[in-house]
Structure 1
Amino acid sequence: MPDHLLNLHGDVLAAMRRGPKNFARLAFALSESEEPSDVQENLFLDRLASSDTDLKALWLRALTAWDFAETAAWSATQPRTDERRTEMYAKLGFSSALGKALDDAAPVDKGPRQVVISTKSQGWYSKDTAAVRPFYWTAYESLLRRKGWSEAAVASLDEASHGVVERLSDPSRPEAFGARGLVVGYVQSGKTANFTGVIAKAMDAGYRLVIVLGGTLNLLRSQTQRRLDMELIGRENILRGADPNDLDAVVGVDYQDDEDWPHKFVSHVQRPSALGAFDIERLTTRDNDYRGLMQGIRALDIEKVDRTLPLYDPANLHHAAARVMVIKKNKSVLTNLVKDLKKIGPILGEIPALIIDDESDQASVNTISPKKWEQGRVTRTAINGLITELLGLLPRAQYVGYTATPFANVFVDPDDSQDIFPRDFLISLPRPSGYMGVQDFHDMDSDLPLEERPLAESQERAHVRGIFQTDDRLMEAIDAFVLAGAVKLYRIANGVPEGKFRHHTMLVHESVKMADHAELALRLNSMWHSSYSSSQAHIRLAKLYSDDFQQVCAAQSDGSVAPSSYEELRPFISRARQLISSGGNPVIIVNGDTEKDYEQADLDFDRTPHVWKILVGGTKLSRGFTVEGLTITYYRRKTQQADTLMQMGRWFGFRDGYRDLVRLYIGREEPFGRDKTIDLYQAFEAICQDEESFRSQLAQYAEMIDGEPQLTPSQVLPLVSQHLALVKPSGRNKMYNSELVEIRSPGKPIEPAAYPMSTAGIRRNTERWKPLLHIFGADSTALTLPPDDSSPLTRTFQAKTALVSHDSLVSVLRQLEWEGDNHFAPHLNYLAQLDGTLAKVDDWLLVAPQTTAARRVEASILGSAPCSLVRRSRQLGKVSFGRISGLEHRKWAQGLIDNARDQPGINNGDSGLAVGPRTGIVLLYAVIEAANDAELTAAAPGGVVDPSRVIPAFTLLSPSSANDSTRRLLRYRAKRSGA
């Protein structure tokens, strides 16, 4: 029996493509009945109250799409807000009661939104434009819903992919233009889904050549090819119109051995061209990377309906088939492609092309320093050079990079027009719902000791297990892997679909050396076969379950069932062990020098029905490779690059149905270089801060003013932070074009040393200090340094002191000149923020230490009272001085600041000086560059020193109010070659 109300509501909502309108009026217009009862609110409310799933799903989809619409001509309110909903209900003509019922059925998703820094949108791609030809996007959207995506997730992807496409050039635009953009996601957070949506919408809009740079390994490239074939290109395009049931016709199809073929591959029912859309021609397959245009040069001689018009003319564009290739970032592959394109000729200038660069910070960035360029001309690495050549051959090509670690990309020279700096847009994707990222393994805002944090609220207590030198906990990690697998089997037995836990894996990552991997695999195999052969194994597993898993599952299972005791779980232990040791070996080594080393059946998560294994590897497990079903990670690999460290966080991702089982065994205080250690867990916390700092900075500049963007990416030059001194944002070869712009150093002395060498520069600096030279007229004070570890004696020195305001000191410091690179500027940027922006500093105590009376040489500077001159020397062969402040002077100053922090208001010994928590100290010296005391005396004839000979040099110690070590960081940005 037809559901008239559901059909009518479907028709009405379909007519509201451009936004909500009065529901009753549209319903009367569309209904076949003269007075349809289906528009009555009471009937609508009754159906909603009766949990009508079909009707709710219909309205959930419509309301969510309107909620998420970033650009809506019908609305003046912000997306995903209660105000937007109120406006929607008013336009629909709904009562408050009906609005409340719909809110209950479809709550407003107020999660994070994407952040966009962009040039002004060209306005060619609107929601109406997208709705004219939505063939591939509609198919992709439907597939995502069938896969179980929520309406909010689909709407979020719709908006995010729309936001990318609208910033590309109009494919039918007569003038050739190539946009350059960067999309920043999270590690293993669904970036492929985003660029698949972008490709679908871009092809629907008219892009006819799509090149996906799919990683540096065949394994990664084929994964991306399969994903696009399965979710976007579809059966009919893969078979080129052949009947999938005709065995002779489908011989040789690349997915004949794939258990998901053909039922899980999207179907368009017929060849798209027969449905009034356009076909897709694959120029690569799952097993075959690009080797040359298989059909010859004519493969890109795209057909035209009207040969008198260019391909980009709409008369031709929307009838032409699209070409798609997924290629490896490899020199020979890209060289073949560039060579073939050069043979094609003028048609290249007519093809709207889209280049998607997955993991765009890997291999794509030029890592040759300008110091090595030949005759000053840009010298590029092979992959970067071929990408820029490819962009040059395709003047209508749009380049969109995708990465979770964008630092190398934003260090690209913005003024290099041929390179891949995201000059036109930079988009930060929102953190997806259900995603476990670095924040989900840290309690970032908790001040409580770990043991006092509630288990239900503490991510660290739930998921993190530290590895210390005294106990490597490897056996415990293996036991955790077995227990987690058994709990998954228990959940399957209690109604969870088996497909949810198709793969169950453990990752062990300690080293990049292949010999270490072999040794570790041998050890793991030995432990496996020797540790589960007696009843002791059950005793050990029972204890770990009751002490760990049982408690965490109870606190954080989020509704998933879990055994109430080990005895209830015990029947599933044996099956878990069988699955893990199938084939006789529980361990897979993932490494190698050649591509063939990665062509292991057990490593192919797409083709293998069940992978329940322990994976041992290094670098190859660190980038792009998704370890499906990863539940237990044992991690001790050390690195000094934040982006590399983040990419090695393979434990990040979606853990639907087993989030409570995830465990991270991670190194704490690992040996790192000479006399150094690194806490890997704290390192990940630091790069989490780096990441959030980068994203929050983008958000700051993303706000529109009067509908216009504040800044473009090339204007804003995003700042990249470094919160941990040992871990730089990226590799040295990716940072040659970066410059340090800020050093926040609370609690650490600041002592610049590269003072000008020319007499003119020295004189100018001295004159700039004149407003503060009154310090030398102060009375001399005896300052006392109490006994400490370096001396059992009390030491005293004479100094002149004066108090100056923060603004007065910063005003002088801003004017100073420096020799060579201005290494003080990053410190100055930090000091300037101590006006209350970062921390509040009221004033600074200027302290001018005097030399001992027997050796003292005094002189007046620019009419000042006599000051004590000090002798310093520059380092051999360098422009900077070896040191400025005396060790005892610095110790005294630091003690005074520490005293102000611990006992504010207490005087420092017998000096009579009281430094408050918001007062810093400046040790100021009148430096003469001299080799001996005789030269020092000769520099001040008649008690007056030439201002071109004396250097006012200083050391700053920030006050206790600014000495929060959590604020310690460095910031970098790209250097401009054209500046």
Structure 2
Amino acid sequence: MTTEDTSAVPSAHGDLYDLHDAALAGMRKKGPKPLARALRFYAEDMDHEGTDLTEAALREVLSTAHTDHALLWLWRRQLADWDFDSRAAWTDTEPRTEERRAAIHAGLGLEPETRKVLDTLIPVSKLTGPVVISREFTPWRGRREQQGHHWYWPRYAELLARKGWDADAVANLDEAAERVVERLADPTAEQPYQSRGLVVGYVQSGKTANFTGVIAKAVDAGYRLVIVLGGTLNLLRAQTQRRLDMELVGRENILRGASEVESDYAADEAWVQDKFLRHGGLPSTRGAFDIIRLTTRDNDYKPLAQGIGALEIEKREQTLPLYDPRNLRHSAARLMVVKKNKSVLAKLVKDLKKIGPLLSEIPVLIIDDESDEASVNTTSPSKPDANRTAINEKISELLQLMPRAQYVGYTATPFANVFIDPSDTEDVFPRDFILSLDRPAGYMGVQDFHDLDSAIPPEERTFANSQEKAHVRDVRKEDEEDDVCLREAMDMFVLTAAVKVYRECAGPEPLGTGHFRHHTMLVHESRLQRDHRELAAKLLRLWYDGGYAGPSGRERLRKLYDTDVAPVSAARADGFAVPADFEELAPHIGAAWMRIGGNENPVIVVNGDQDIERGEADFDRRGIWKILVGGQKLSRGYTVEGLTVTYYRRSAGNASTLMQMGRWFGFRKGYRDLVRLYIGRGETLGAKEVDLYEAFEAICRDEETFREQLKQYAVLIDGRPQITPAQVPPLVSQHLPWLKPTSREKMYNARLVEVRSPGKWEEPTAYPKTSAALRHNTGLWTPVLDGLSTETAAFTYEGGGKSHRFSAFTDFLAPGDLMPLLRSLKWQTGQQFEPHLAYLEEISKSPRQVDDWLVLAPQHAGSGRRAAIGSSDRSFSWFSRDRRRGPLFGAISEPKHRPAALRIAGAVPSCGDPTTERYVAERRGVVVLYPLVESGVEAGGRLDPGQVVMAFCFVAPYSAEGSDSRVVRFTTVDSSREDQAIIHV
């Protein structure tokens, strides 16, 4: 129920609703005012003087109301608006805090009992809001009430509420969209400016909703040409067009006076069911402006008839430029959704060139969906006379043609975008802002399939406390000869289908779910079409041999239900109906089987646009209960609706590509407990065997590290940004040596000057390769080795269900002894250690933040792999490591050595080990030495100083945070100035 739906409210309550609606509406611009006074005014004005206006009456209605009661929804929406408002002139409290809510209550003059009821029913949102890394910009949105209209955004927000979005989610979207629009150029400004930004969401997490909100706010503000680059597939472009037409453009703008049957959506189920937005008439007849579509669902951009008439935006005042508010207020906006295709974009560029001088007056917004695909120039800048890649060149031409064009890219895998050369003025580097969206409520992402840093020991994990146990099933090579895992995945698909049918029969929420329009299984093993055909044939054979209507099939399903589906749903059904036993579910298996294979075609192969365009896999046009087989076409923007079971064995060489293949991420309302991922362990990538599940965990860590650092650096220092988008590339991490963040040709740009790492394990890997450099380093470390204790100390750290034990020689070094050594070391790639050295130098200066460094030289438990090093006659344990990334080593350390070192530096709590605790001190750091021997090097009783790599790791004291609030400093290499550097201090 929304503000437009009060039919279910008793008349007395209806009067109360009308009064509160009017009173709160009068406060929206100026903030909360005394509620009692406003209610008395509107009661007299609206002839409701007999209505009980006391707060006691309000409390009684709210306390007994259904969650969708109109009055409760009204208050939920208004409190969310005030809670989220980051520009509130009526208070200096921070948004989404208890202090902000207290200020709202005080402004309304509410009694303590009313405050308590509202806070209980409508708690302060825990959403953190978007994170923005931005250049400084000139604010202009404070004048938005005086310029332009307020038409399309309010209607879009109301539509989202009618679709079931809660008030917090709508308010959060409002704030995120506003953070983007305020960083675009003022569309009425005399001086043109092109803002370029990037919005980072999650895979299949609602990025389209955000850019729809941005478009709504932008056209309200005065942008009059919107170009949406809608992916590289016809279906993706059509899906985006339909979504914008349904939720933003609306029926009247689509029809423009034509009859309903003439609409390109006349046969669309949502059109027939009246789910497309209505404006109540053409917006231009109601004091606003129209949106004219230059593309439709079925038609991409085509050369326009009668020259360029459809793109020539009318001007009421011919002597004034189009961007003057007196013209913008009365001109219609144009919208086109264009596929990222060279020939299509070429047609658009050709038509735009015909407009002439007017083109320089049009405020333009370009939205680039999946902006890391096709849009980025992948030609190496080092190549002489290098040409841009095709799509990038056309986007560049669009930006050059339209000086008032704003470019906003959207992606869930941002690494390619932030590695663009920021000095390339013709490219799409997000020089003005990078905005990271909140993880939406109800979204299943990587974290929902991994037990990241869980404190629960593996042997104690259950379906209730472990994401992996609940949702992930291993696919191992040894099980594949007889299709054991594939058969089980198909059985799971049938079982979960039956549970969905059961829930449909259980009625509306909270137990039931209504109708499940889609139920799908995705099988992704290869990108090759011949493999898809073979796999489809195998799936058909398994389907028809499954015996789902007979005793053998039912027995398999019973066993799988009892051992897997039932216990997981018992722990995770979240209130939705769960059969008491298999017998209660069994009657629904036949109905589920018929929905999947009733037309004798349970499998759909999707490996080309034509498969999608003929409607077999078009989720907008029909309900689909099928098994989908495919490769690239099932990745990157293509949403597999109703996806419940995934069978995945396809690897990739970089994180961006692999993450986009994770179609199992998304919203799973009503069947979250039924989601299963069958994923390959021990798959082959080239000549390498990889663990796909481990790879996705590594991606998750890379992604979360990136987002957490953005959040940390988004905090302003003295009112100014800590970092700008040009300084973001060094924040991208890589947790697996073989899994790069993005393709190699997209990885160039900036260099880190300093990174502060108090209490963090740091592991330099760029050690030299030449004998002279290795000999030099060994000579520096030899006195340290000679000074180590003659007896080892036994360190233990218990945590996470594991016991970490090792023995090590020890010694202490003063900062004055360690720093000259570190300064003198030679490196293969000095840039890797320089940022750390800068930090260590800073904390070693006065006022010093480190008193001393504990040196640990871990020793093997056995007598093997020991040798004398350098001039010392003592023998030490050495470690075998290889350079896995060119000149760089992979991991240096051993996991068992890290917890004790972190504890000594104060980064983790005590586990009670007396030896470890004896070394703990507040301002103490730890250096751990690892003499390395590479493959092919002879290791006898004495190591040649020119062949041993004296590697080390370190943990700075947890308290050593540096001299100010900054976390990083960078050098941004500007390719237009060759080897010169711009230093950001």
For normalisation by structure 2, the TM-score amounts to 0.81
CA distance in 2, matches of 1:568, 1:127: 62
Q: String of CA shifts for 1:736-781, please: whole Å, max 9, x gaps.
A: 4466889999798857226799xxxx9xx98x999x6994997999
- 1:6 aligned partner: 17
Structure 1 residue 957 and structure 2 residue 957: aligned?
no
Q: In the alignment, which of 290, 293, 300 is matched to residue 311 of structure 2? A: 300
For residue 605 of structure 1, what is the amino acid of its counterpart?
A: F
**1:750·1:955 contact (CA, 8 Å) conserved in 2?**
no
Structure 1 residue 516 and structure 2 residue 526: aligned?
no
For residue 138 of structure 1, what is the amino acid of its counterpart?
A: P
1:95–1:677: structure 2 CA closer, same or farther, 3 Å change rule?
same
Structure 1 residue 596 and structure 2 residue 610: aligned?
yes
- 2:378 aligned partner: 367
Q: String of CA shifts for 1:367-398, please: whole Å, max 9, x gaps.
A: 01123231xxx631111111111111110011
For residue 330 of structure 2, what is the amino acid of its counterpart?
A: H
- 2:696 aligned partner: 684
- Which range moves more in the overlay, 130-139 or 685-694? 130-139
Q: String of CA shifts for 1:561-593, please: whole Å, max 9, x gaps.
A: 01111111111111111111132111111113x
- 1:527 aligned partner: 542
CA distance in 1, matches of 2:606, 2:158: 36
CA distance in 2, matches of 1:756, 1:712: 41
Structure 1 residue 709 and structure 2 residue 686: aligned?
no
Structure 1 residue 394 and structure 2 residue 402: aligned?
yes
- 2:40 aligned partner: 28
Cα offset, 1:822, TM superposition: 4.4
Q: String of CA shifts for 1:676-716, please: whole Å, max 9, x gaps.
A: 42111111111111111000101011123455433332245
1:400–1:807: structure 2 CA closer, same or farther, 3 Å change rule?
farther
Cα offset, 1:200, TM superposition: 0.7
- Which range moves more in the overlay, 433-442 or 414-423? 414-423
Cα offset, 1:237, TM superposition: 1.1
Cα offset, 1:521, TM superposition: 0.7
- 2:657 aligned partner: 644
Match of 2:120, SS state, is helix
Q: String of CA shifts for 1:425-470, please: whole Å, max 9, x gaps.
A: 1110000000001101111132434442132222111111111122
- 1:209 aligned partner: 225
Q: In the alignment, which of 403, 410, 417 is matched to residue 409 of structure 1? A: 417
For residue 86 of structure 2, what is the amino acid of its counterpart?
A: E
CA distance in 2, matches of 1:271, 1:563: 50
1:278–1:843: structure 2 CA closer, same or farther, 3 Å change rule?
same
1:130–1:109: structure 2 CA closer, same or farther, 3 Å change rule?
farther
Q: In the alignment, which of 284, 289, 313 is matched to residue 278 of structure 1? A: 289
Cα offset, 1:131, TM superposition: 9.8
CA distance in 2, matches of 1:222, 1:838: 59
1:746–1:295: structure 2 CA closer, same or farther, 3 Å change rule?
same
Cα offset, 1:672, TM superposition: 3.5
1:746–1:67: structure 2 CA closer, same or farther, 3 Å change rule?
closer
Cα offset, 1:42, TM superposition: 2.4
- 1:352 aligned partner: 363
1:782–1:700: structure 2 CA closer, same or farther, 3 Å change rule?
closer
Structure 1 residue 921 and structure 2 residue 933: aligned?
no
Q: Which runs of 5+ in 2 are unaligned?
A: 1-10, 793-808, 859-867, 875-885, 905-910, 916-923, 934-943, 958-968
CA distance in 1, matches of 2:722, 2:75: 36
Cα offset, 1:832, TM superposition: 7.9
CA distance in 1, matches of 2:252, 2:887: 73
Paired positions, count: 872
Q: String of CA shifts for 1:29-52, please: whole Å, max 9, x gaps.
A: 444179876442222223323427
- 2:507 aligned partner: 495
Q: String of CA shifts for 1:274-297, please: whole Å, max 9, x gaps.
A: 111111111111111112224521
Structure 1 residue 813 and structure 2 residue 822: aligned?
yes
Match of 2:271, SS state, is coil
- Which range moves more in the overlay, 228-237 or 738-747? 738-747
Q: String of CA shifts for 1:841-889, please: whole Å, max 9, x gaps.
A: 8244799xxxxxxx9999xxxxxxx999xxxxxxxxxxx9999xxx9xx
Q: In the alignment, which of 350, 371, 383 is matched to residue 339 of structure 1? A: 350
**2:144·2:221 contact (CA, 8 Å) conserved in 1?**
no
CA distance in 2, matches of 1:881, 1:596: 46
**2:651·2:692 contact (CA, 8 Å) conserved in 1?**
yes
For residue 651 of structure 1, what is the amino acid of its counterpart?
A: W
**2:236·2:638 contact (CA, 8 Å) conserved in 1?**
yes
Structure 1 residue 237 and structure 2 residue 253: aligned?
yes
Query: Which structure's CA Rg is the greater one?
Result: 1
- Which range moves more in the overlay, 485-494 or 808-817? 808-817
Cα offset, 1:601, TM superposition: 1.7
For residue 530 of structure 1, what is the amino acid of its counterpart?
A: D
**1:411·1:975 contact (CA, 8 Å) conserved in 2?**
no
Structure 1 residue 222 and structure 2 residue 235: aligned?
no
Q: In the alignment, which of 547, 555, 563 is matched to residue 579 of structure 2? A: 563
Match of 2:479, SS state, is coil
Match of 1:633, SS state, is strand
CA distance in 2, matches of 1:882, 1:31: 75
- 2:520 aligned partner: 505
CA distance in 1, matches of 2:393, 2:141: 31
Structure 1 residue 42 and structure 2 residue 41: aligned?
no
CA distance in 2, matches of 1:184, 1:261: 31
Match of 1:571, SS state, is helix
- Which range moves more in the overlay, 705-714 or 695-704? 705-714
Match of 1:32, SS state, is helix
- 2:321 aligned partner: 310
CA distance in 2, matches of 1:123, 1:207: 17
Structure 1 residue 188 and structure 2 residue 200: aligned?
no
CA distance in 2, matches of 1:834, 1:136: 54
- 2:387 aligned partner: 379
Q: String of CA shifts for 1:65-115, please: whole Å, max 9, x gaps.
A: 111112211121111111111111011111111101111232211123211
Match of 1:310, SS state, is coil
**1:750·1:827 contact (CA, 8 Å) conserved in 2?**
no
**2:201·2:438 contact (CA, 8 Å) conserved in 1?**
yes
1:635–1:445: structure 2 CA closer, same or farther, 3 Å change rule?
same
For residue 294 of structure 2, what is the amino acid of its counterpart?
A: L
Root-mean-square deviation over aligned CA pairs: 4.3
- 2:188 aligned partner: 172
For residue 813 of structure 2, what is the amino acid of its counterpart?
A: V
Task: Report sequence identity in percent.
Answer: 53
1:130–1:217: structure 2 CA closer, same or farther, 3 Å change rule?
farther
CA distance in 1, matches of 2:767, 2:213: 51
CA distance in 2, matches of 1:403, 1:856: 51
CA distance in 2, matches of 1:132, 1:85: 31
Alignment of 1:425-574 (within 5 A): 425-472=433-480, 473-496=485-508, 500-532=515-547, 534-574=550-590
Q: In the alignment, which of 606, 613, 632 is matched to residue 645 of structure 2? A: 632
**2:813·2:852 contact (CA, 8 Å) conserved in 1?**
no
Cα offset, 1:241, TM superposition: 2.2
Q: Which runs of 5+ in 1 are unaligned?
A: 785-799, 848-854, 859-865, 869-879, 907-915, 926-935, 937-949, 963-970
Match of 1:178, SS state, is coil
Cα offset, 1:401, TM superposition: 0.4
Structure 1 residue 613 and structure 2 residue 626: aligned?
yes
